[in-house]
C-alpha cells in the first residue's frame, strides 16, 4: 500500500495491494487459523489391535471412539470407554472377591469346591465329634458341635474332589504309603495341609525321640513328633479310651509300651503323652512311641 505524502493531499495516488498467502491444508494450522480438512490430502487410518475398528479420516479431521460393551455370561454391561482399561469386580453377596483367572476364563468355584472360600476362608470351629454313642442328653457326642457332618466328613469337597476328611496322599483310601492327610487342617490361603505317618516311631526316651527330628518318611523329610493340638485334632473321643484306634490310623495305645509322646514338656522334668484315660505328663525316661506329622503343600500331593 502506498500513501500520499504531498502537502495538499491532492496529487497523490493510492494503491490497494492484495497479498495471497498459500497454506497447505495437510499441515496442522497455527494458532488462530481454522481450516477445513482437505479431501485431497492422504487419509489417516485408525485401527485397534484386532482390526475390528478400522476407520479412515481426512487429515485434520476427528475420530470419536464409541463406548464399548462388556458381556459376562450373556449379560451386557454398557458405557465403558473403549480406550480406558476397565475393572470388572466379581464378588459374593458378602462383598468378598471371588474367583480366579483360568486361561481366558474367570472361574468362580462351585459351592462344593474346596477353593470356594480361598480368597476369604470361612472361619470354622472344631471338627464335629459324632463318632460313638451318646450316654446323656446334650453330652459331647449328642450335641455334635462343630463343622462337617461327623468326625470323618468335611462340609465341602477337599481338593481331591471328595468330602473325606482323611485321605491318603493320592486322594484315596488305600494308604499304601502309610501317609494320612487330614483335610480338616487345610490352609486354603497357603495351600498347605497336615499329613500324619500312621506307623508310630519305635518306643524311646523323650530326648531320644526329639533328637531324631526331623525324620524322613514316605521319601520326604521334615517329619516331626506331633504336638498337643495336632494330636488332639485326630484324637477320636468316640473310641472308648483308645482315641487313635480307628481307621485309617489303627494305633492302639491300650498297653503301656504303646503310649504316644507329644513334643511338649512343661517343666523340663516330664513330657506329655497320650494314655488310654488321659493326656498327661510322665517322666522323660519312660519308653513311649510317637506319631509323626509334617506340613504338605498341595503341589507335593500333585494338586
More confident residue, 5 or 177: 177
The ranges assigned to domains in the chain are 1-63, 165-297
User: Residues 102-128: what's their mean pLDDT?
Assistant: 55
pLDDT, tens only, 239-280 = 888 999 999 999 999 988 899 999 998 888 899 999 987 888
Among 272, 294, 298, smallest CA distance to 178 is for: 294
Residues with Cβ within 8 Å of residue 80, at least 6 apart in sequence: 67, 68, 69, 70, 86
Q: Give the residues across from 147 on adjacent strands.
A: 127
How far is residue 276 from each of residues 19, 117, 261, 279, measured CA to CA in Å? 115, 38, 13, 8
User: Residues 47-75: what's their mean pLDDT?
Assistant: 76
pLDDT at res. 79: 74
pTM score over 0.85:
no
More confident residue, 285 or 156: 285
The counts of H helices and E strands in the chain are 3, 15
Q: In this model, does residue 302 exceed pLDDT 90?
A: yes
Distance CA 161, CA 109 (A): 12
DSSP helix/strand/coil, 230: helix
Distance CA 246, CA 251 (A): 7
User: Residues 189-201: what's their mean pLDDT?
Assistant: 94
E strands present in the chain = 44-47, 54-57, 68-72, 75-80, 100-102, 105-107, 166-167, 179-187, 192-204, 215-217, 220-225, 260-261, 270-274, 279-283, 288-297
* Residues of the chain above pLDDT 70, percent: 70
Instruction: Give 121's pLDDT tier (boundaries 50, 70, 90).
Output: very low
**In contact, 231 and 262? CB cutoff 8 Å:** yes
More confident residue, 53 or 292: 292
Element (H, E) at 208: helix 206-211
Which of 102-106, 161-165, 169-173 ranks highest by mean pLDDT? 169-173
Q: In this model, does residue 2 exceed pLDDT 60?
A: no
Amino acid at each position: 500500500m502506498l500513501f500520499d505524502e504531498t502537502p495538499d493531499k491532492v496529487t497523490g495516488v493510492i494503491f490497494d495491494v492484495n497479498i495471497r498467502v498459500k497454506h497447505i491444508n495437510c499441515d496442522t494450522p497455527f494458532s488462530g487459523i481454522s481450516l477445513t480438512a482437505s479431501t485431497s490430502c492422504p487419509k489417516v487410518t485408525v485401527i485397534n489391535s484386532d482390526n475390528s475398528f478400522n476407520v479412515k479420516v481426512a487429515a485434520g479431521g476427528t475420530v470419536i471412539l464409541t463406548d464399548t460393551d462388556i458381556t459376562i455370561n450373556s449379560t451386557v454391561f454398557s458405557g465403558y470407554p473403549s480406550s480406558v482399561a476397565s475393572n470388572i469386580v466379581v464378588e459374593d453377596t458378602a462383598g468378598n472377591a471371588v474367583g480366579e483367572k483360568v486361561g481366558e476364563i474367570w472361574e468362580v468355584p462351585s459351592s462344593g469346591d474346596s477353593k470356594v472360600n480361598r480368597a476369604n476362608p470361612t472361619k470354622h470351629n472344631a471338627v464335629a465329634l459324632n463318632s460313638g454313642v451318646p450316654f446323656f442328653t446334650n453330652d459331647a457326642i449328642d450335641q455334635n458341635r462343630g463343622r462337617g457332618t461327623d468326625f470323618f466328613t468335611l462340609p465341602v469337597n477337599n481338593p481331591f474332589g471328595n468330602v473325606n476328611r482323611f485321605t491318603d496322599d493320592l486322594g484315596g483310601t488305600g494308604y499304601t504309603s502309610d501317609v494320612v492327610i487330614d483335610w480338616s487342617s487345610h490352609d486354603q490361603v497357603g495351600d498347605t495341609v497336615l499329613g500324619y505317618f500312621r506307623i508310630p516311631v519305635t518306643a524311646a526316651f523323650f530326648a531320644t525321640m526329639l533328637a531324631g527330628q526331623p525324620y524322613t518318611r514316605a521319601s520326604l523329610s521334615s517329619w516331626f513328633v506331633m504336638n498337643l493340638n495336632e494330636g488332639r485334632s485326630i484324637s477320636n473321643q468316640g473310641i472308648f479310651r483308645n482315641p487313635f484306634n480307628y481307621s485309617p490310623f489303627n494305633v492302639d495305645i491300650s498297653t503301656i509300651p504303646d503310649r504316644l509322646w507329644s513334643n511338649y514338656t512343661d517343666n523340663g522334668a516330664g513330657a506329655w503323652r497320650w494314655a488310654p484315660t488321659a493326656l498327661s505328663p510322665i517322666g522323660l525316661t519312660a519308653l513311649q512311641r510317637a506319631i509323626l506329622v509334617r506340613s504338605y503343600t498341595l503341589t507335593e500331593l500333585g494338586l
